[in-house]
Amino acid sequence: MENNILDFDTVCLSEDGEGIKIIDQTRLPGEITFLTLKTDEEIWRAINILQVRGAPAIGVTAALAMYVLSLSMPKTSYADFARVFAEKKAYLDSSRPTAVNLSWALKKMEKVVLDHEGTDPSELIPLLKEEALRIYREDIEVCHAIGENGLTLVKKGDGILTHCNAGKLCAVQYGTATAPIYLGHERGYNFRVFCDETRPLLQGARLTSFELVSAGVDTTVICDNMSGMVMKKGWVNAVFVGCDRVAANGDTANKIGTSVVAAVAKQYGVPMYICAPTSTIDLSTPTGEEIVIEERKPDEVTEMWYKERMAPKNVKVFNPAFDVTDASLITAIVTEKGIAYPPYTKTLREMVEKE
């Protein structure tokens, strides 16, 4: 029987407990391939080249990574262990700059080491494993809660548009922006979903549509520049997207093109919902202006998906991985703790501090 993408966690500990098992997303939708990562170079590369991607999944990967890497760190003294731990943490933190969940999870793991200063390294390792697995389990619970909260914003038979992949492939299970879709599908809501292709890496066409079709959801792929037409026709009742970082004022960094979707949605009166765990809310970043935007290689635009190069050799290429959607274009931000509405400077802080 063929593998079904929904039968597997996107990221988890390997069967022997000494590595990280991931679905290689660069091979989808053509084949479902699993990788086991055990070295810091393998993990860094997997995050950097998007074998594992999506803010929640990257966070879980980072947490599991620090436990897996701790197995081979010096056991001679706490000082040696902590020094190498800090080096590995800094190295992994450099793999991608925009997604706050990466640094968030690494800091969570580092806190275990710092809170147990002087502890024998052999006693630290089980504590690191416990924290990594807590972050893993929490991701599943958080995404399910985001789904429940998001589902209150739509009704049966609605058309939903989504951009990039904020599905189960961006998390352990459920996803963020697709969590309401999955829960609604289970309960007979009969959603019609439009997946933006999402140039230049095609996460919507390759990943979101793949997993939604696997789940039996009514799914249509559209090119990014078709969103205005489907909204004008009245086929879209809500937009659900994920994000990689939310600034304190509600500005949101997400996959390139999200701000265009938001502007078009505002034009046609379609609500724009950001689905994000509170770990993605960065109150230390005042506005979207301060968010560092990753720029990627030009050949992702000019060559990656073509048999022959599709642009002149000497042409300039601007290839930002993300853009920032202004808070004024966002109807609400859906978290596991509830739904935040404007003014975001107030409601986001309340959401983060909420027990």
Contact 191, 159 (CB under 8 A): yes
Q: How far is CA 310 from the centre of its chain?
A: 29
Using CA atoms, how far apart are residues 217 and 160, in angstroms rounded to an integer? 11
Choose the catalytic residue: 196, 244, 282, 323.
244
Contact 242, 212 (CB under 8 A): no
Per the annotation, the verdict on 218 as an active-site residue is: no
**Which residues have a Cβ under 8 Å from the Cβ of 12 and sit 6 or more positions away?**
20, 21, 64, 136, 172
For the four alpha carbons of 67, 72, 77 and 79, in that order, the dihedral sign comes to negative
**Strand partners of residue 274:** 241, 333
Using CA atoms, how far apart are residues 320 and 13, in angstroms rounded to an integer? 32
How many CB atoms sit inside 10 A of residue 242's CB?
A: 30
Q: Which two tokens stand for residue 355?
A: 């027990």
Task: Specify the amino acid at residue 147.
Answer: G
Catalytic residue positions, numbered:
244
